[in-house]
Structure 1
Amino acid sequence: MATAADRAKSLARTSVWLEGKAAPKRRAEQPAGLDRDKITAATVRLLDAEGLAKFSMRRLAAELGVTAMSVYWYVDTKDDLLELALDAVTGEVTLPAEGEDADWRDQLRALATEYRQLLVRHPWVSPLIGEYLNVGPHSMAFATTVQRIMRRTGLPPHGQTGALAAVFRFVYGFGAVEGRFAQRCAEAGISQDDFFRQVMGAIGEQPGLRETFQESVDLLEARGGDTVQEMRERDFRFALDLLIAGIEAKRNG
């Protein structure tokens, strides 16, 4: 059973990248054929397949065909491993090249879209983002690129952080909800479109919700799109365009 001291120590951890554990020393007794990259890749596969709630070091060891103690040769804690996995998938984001002739609007749209796709592809990422400092090499490369693009918007320095928050917290929320919905449908063995129709049909049958439901239907019809994905794409593009237009207005205001 965890003691108060154990809990305090867990809360006080900073990052696997800041505690001298990012590059563990090899020891002669370490299991052959195993390394941190393989362990991290297996972690990502398990998290994608089974979700964050079911993940454990014992389950990971079984996936790798080793004992749990073998995994601990390479990482000290489950938190360290989850942080490594988080940074690893952040490396999937394609970062735009540095070029002063590139339009910052196009680069911001591209990066926001990549970030959304990451959150949908790996639903377990969104709850971890608030847990860790995200200072691994891939996460820092992403942050540096975002800041570089934002500097080129023409906003004053004191406004750039707010603009970053507006864009990427919007994308975070949009992608997190989208990813969770897709995961729920996959677990239930039903398509997103069928689930959406079932939910809308069930709500529409409730007398107390009928008036509000009809207003929602009118909005959905005005939005357009025949599928859940098409509706999402329209909403995402429109909302992102609004944010970019706001940045342009602020820099000219």
Structure 2
Amino acid sequence: MPADEKPTASVWTRPRPRQREHLTREQIVAEAIRLLDAEGVEELSMRKLGTRLGTAATSLYRHVANKGELIELVVDDVYGEPDVPTAVDGTRWRAAVTRTATELRAMPLHHPWIAPELGQVGLVHIDPNAMPMSSTLLAQFEAAGSPTDEMNQTMGTLMAYVIGIATAEAACLSLIARSGTTEQEWVAGLRPAFDEATQEHPRLRSGSSAQQDVHPQRIRDDNFAYGLDRVLDGLAARLTP
């Protein structure tokens, strides 16, 4: 690195400050997640967070330098939620990867605010919870026979699919939540307008009509599973016996 070039700033690249009071970093992160789940990232501020914790914003800055560092911390904490398989077995790699992908999809569905933040904490995650998950995925693909020079691309392809579809789902579910209706009610309310708009597009109409009695969540789950299977089919074709 050139002498005049500064390293990328990250909460994980500087020493953790000593605890000087009853407030801990873990308490700050936990309350920040509760605030984000309830109000969204637009409402997150150090002042509001301090009020919720019963302290001044200046106390928070002893633990995190700024809002960006706080986002890094909460994203990593959420990355610790998925229960992913750690055992590596080349004959069962697909089941392990499917479970990991399903757990990853659940992150934005439980915490809709996290989806746009995933790309802002760095292209290469050095977070303590994100790194083991990535390492385990690579181990699964390696055991399956993925070409060594393709493993990072293999994992990237999988992550792009999972995070991409989960982001779209989270955005839609957030919109529905703001409407004050259930997902089923929201979809039912749109159906008359959709049916009218697709009168000249029979293929669209027939596909939708076949699923009109299926719960929207079931449709989302089935669509995710179908797409994931096709992604894994493609990746399986690249495996070395």
Same fold (TM over 0.5): yes
Cα distance change on mapping 1:34 and 1:172 into 2, 3 Å: same
> 220, 237, 240: which one pairs with 1:249?
237
- Answer yes or no: is the 8 Å Cα contact 2:71–2:121 preserved in 1: no
SS at match of 1:211: coil
> 206, 211, 215: which one pairs with 1:218?
206
Larger displacement relative to structure 2 (94-103 or 46-55): 94-103
* Percent identity of paired positions between Structure 1 and Structure 2: 28
Matches within 5 A, 1:1-253: 13-18=8-13, 20-21=14-15, 23-26=16-19, 30=20, 32-100=21-89, 103-133=92-122, 134-206=125-197, 210-212=199-201, 214-222=202-210, 226-251=214-239
Specify the code of the residue in structure 2 equivalent to 1:248.
A
Distance 1:102 1:24 in 2: 45
Structure 1: where are the runs of 5+ without partners? Answer: 1-10
Map Cα deviations across residues 60-96 of structure 1 (whole Å, 9 max, x no partner).
1111111111111111101001100000010001121
Instruction: Give how far 1:225 is off.
Output: 6.4
Q: How many residues align?
A: 234
Map Cα deviations across residues 118-169 of structure 1 (whole Å, 9 max, x no partner).
1211111111111012311101111111111111221212222332222211
SS at match of 1:116: helix
Instruction: Give how far 1:223 is off.
Output: 6.1
- Answer yes or no: is the 8 Å Cα contact 2:31–2:53 preserved in 1: yes
- Answer yes or no: is the 8 Å Cα contact 2:142–2:148 preserved in 1: yes
- Answer yes or no: is the 8 Å Cα contact 2:90–2:145 preserved in 1: no
Specify the code of the residue in structure 2 equivalent to 1:167.
L
Instruction: Give how far 1:252 is off.
Output: 5.7
Specify the code of the residue in structure 2 equivalent to 1:179.
A
Pairwise CA RMSD? 2.2
- Answer yes or no: is the 8 Å Cα contact 2:90–2:143 preserved in 1: no
Instruction: Give how far 1:102 is off.
Output: 6.0
- Answer yes or no: is the 8 Å Cα contact 2:37–2:111 preserved in 1: yes
Structure 2: where are the runs of 5+ without partners? Answer: 1-5
**TM-score, scaled relative to structure 2:** 0.89
Distance 1:99 1:162 in 2: 19
**TM-score, scaled relative to structure 1:** 0.85
Q: Which residue of 1 aligns with 2:3?
A: none
Distance 2:213 2:159 in 1: 25
Larger displacement relative to structure 2 (61-70 or 214-223): 214-223
